[in-house]
Amino acid sequence: MFRIILGSSLFLLFIAMVGLYVSTRLRPYRIRTEVAISASPERVWEVLTDFDAYPDWNPFIVNADGAPSAGERLRVELSTDGQAMVFEPIVLAAEPERELRWIGRFGVPGVPGVVDGEHYFLIEEMGDRRTRLVQGETFTGVLVPIVRRALDVKDGFTAMNSALKHRVETMHR
């Protein structure tokens, strides 16, 4: 009898987890920010992908190591509300002067579907040596509804955007 109850409980837990996962795939949690920068897309890309300089100017991603190339693993350290967090995302896309995108997995290391964050930077030429930088993230996974509040890093994105704008517009080549 105990085995039947345990088996039924595990089955119901499995169904609940699948339901949560499917619901977050259908309704992911998204964050999107943008900033206009008075510089060329080439210059924005140079500063964005100069990971070694992040400690000098970036208030959100305070350290980043690795190569901005598709398939590469990065080591990224975030600072939010005075708390540091390190994760190791995989670069999905790195198209110079256009897009940098990676996916990080939280929870059980490397296991998809717990909390997955697909982070992106889109660089759009606006003309007259002006560029729009769009920074965002899409979170999916079974724990997203539970930890959604902790995933609200929009202020960090905005702070990074402002710092990037300042660095690009005030640095001399």
Number of domains in the chain: 1
Q: Is the pLDDT of residue 26 over 60?
A: no
pLDDT per residue as tens digits for the range 96-130: 999 999 999 987 666 788 899 999 999 999 999 99
Per-residue model confidence (pLDDT) at position 80: 83
Which CATH number covers residue 134? Answer: 3.30.530.20
pLDDT per residue as tens digits for the range 76-98: 999 987 888 899 999 999 999 99
| Calpha distance 86→130 (Å, rounded) | 33
- Global pTM? 0.83
For 65, the domain range is 2-170
| Calpha distance 30→16 (Å, rounded) | 23
